[in-house]
Amino acid sequence: MGIMGIIVGLLILSVMMIVHELGHYLTGRKLGFTIEEFSLFMGPVLFSRERNGIKYSVKLLPIGASVRFAGEFDDDPQNGDPGHFFNRPRWARAIVIATGPALNLLSGVLAFFIMFVSFGYSLPVIGAVYDETQAARAGVVAGDRVLGLNGRPVRTTLDYSGQEMFLPADEPLTLDVRGADGTRREIVLQPAWRDAYRLGITIRQNAEGSILIESVDKEANQGNPVLLAGDTLLAADGVPVDDMAAFSRAVEAAAGRPVEISIIRDGQPMTVVTVPTLYHDLLDRGIIFSASRAPGPAIGQSFQWSWSIVKVTVRSIGMMFSGAIRPQDTLSGPVGVVSMISDVVSQEQPLSEKIYQLLWMFALISVSLGFMNLLPIPPLDGNHLLLIGIEAIRGRRLPVRVQNLIGMLGIALIIMLALAGLLFDIMRLTGQ
């Protein structure tokens, strides 16, 4: 991680936390709550000023924010101040508490919308079907809209990938699709094996439509890889990557002989020579979705993608507690978040690609932060909303002793999860 990457990571994480606290602050002022202090960042106070009875502070450590309401932590709220937190109506307290997570969710939606209209987005509609894939063998055709996967609805491509990533590669997939003519049918993608010569790379299309190398197998080029992650792929023996089927055929036709690969590396066009490696592979599933930049559907897709993140998060948590996936593959803390953002900033890639990835991370983390804060676990906002609901049913607040006990149990759980997240972040950073 570079210093600049760490700084950018901390700033982006701080923006998310400031947005959250602004939600509490703005609705609190609007609804007549007495606010004692609004602080940017954490730690010792660097400077502060008071205006309209509110202390505004900037603190030393450049992460986070906080807002303190009068009486928020008092044991005896009946002090006669109508702006005192627990003297405000339950509905007003609920709105103030809920607005923090709500703004995180909405900022995630906004980030998705900016990303979609600027760089485009994928739709769950088949854009192309390549030969020698499970999709081609099963009869998937361009124009088919994927409506479901293994009985679960698919409304975004994230719905599809979020379900597919939990399934073994050698397991059949059942697709519910609607053809371009409106006919609905069920298609089963059956696993099949084949021997093929490949470059030993994984690729993806970036925001500008270029084909980027995402990772390189260490066994590529007879164990001496010459292609690098981040290279832009152009052609193989003169066959452009724009025609992916022809490009793949050119690599396979080499059958272990050297191939000239045209790439762009660090902004400079160049040619490298590599020998395709023989792999015994599962046939690729071959689901290639279409892309769009239309701003109208981007609005709905922004909300749908945010909801897809929530669904994947819930499923991941459930699978973690059931033992289906490892906690270290699910949990991450601020160190992990800053590390991921720092990696994007530090990588040698076009600025537009960095902006695209940072928008994606901002949206992903904002939505996750908003949703997780709504869980009924002390000291999260969801627990405060739960206590307000219990108060509404009982007609009075829970005894302070009970609230303190719930709070201590919740804080203990949060500390354990935070320590686990920190441990897993360190393990990832050290390659363990």
- How far apart CA 371 and CA 381 sit, in angstroms, is 10
Alpha-carbon distances of 209 from 292, 368, 413, rounded to whole Å: 12, 28, 45
- How far apart CA 309 and CA 363 sit, in angstroms, is 9
Q: What is the pLDDT of residue 430?
A: 54
Q: What is the pLDDT of residue 431?
A: 53
Give the CATH superfamily of 121-192+286-331.
Answer: PDZ domain (2.30.42.10)
Q: Where are the domains of the chain?
A: 3-117+357-429, 121-192+286-331, 194-278
Q: Measured in Å, how far apart are the chain's first and last C-alpha atoms?
A: 17
Beta bridge partners of 205: 211
pLDDT along the chain (432 residues), means of 10: 76 91 96 94 92 93 90 66 90 97 97 94 90 89 94 93 84 94 94 86 77 88 88 90 81 86 92 90 86 89 94 81 67 69 76 88 93 90 93 86 78 71 58 52
Find the angle CA(305)-CA(309)-CA(310) to the nearest 5 degrees: 120
Residue 252 has phi, psi (to 5 degrees) of: -65, -35
| Nearest of 147, 140, 142 to residue 177 by alpha carbon | 147
Cβ 147 vs Cβ 154: under 8 Å: yes
Within its chain, how far is the Cα of 245 from the centroid?
A: 31
Ramachandran bin of 201, using left for φ above 0, alpha for ψ from -120 to 50, beta for the remaining angles: beta
Give the CATH superfamily of 194-278.
Answer: PDZ domain (2.30.42.10)
SS3 53: coil
- How far apart CA 145 and CA 179 sit, in angstroms, is 6
Residue 259 has phi, psi (to 5 degrees) of: -125, 140
Cβ 135 vs Cβ 380: under 8 Å: no
Q: Do domains 121-192+286-331 and 194-278 have the same CATH topology?
A: yes
Give the contacts of 339 (CB within 8 A, at least 6 positions apart). 1, 9, 425, 428, 429
Alpha-carbon distances of 198 from 282, 332, 374, rounded to whole Å: 13, 34, 46
Residue 16 has phi, psi (to 5 degrees) of: -60, -40
pTM for the whole thing?
Answer: 0.80
- How far apart CA 287 and CA 349 sit, in angstroms, is 26
- How far apart CA 17 and CA 389 sit, in angstroms, is 25
Q: How many other CB atoms are found less than 10 A from the CB of residue 419? A: 11
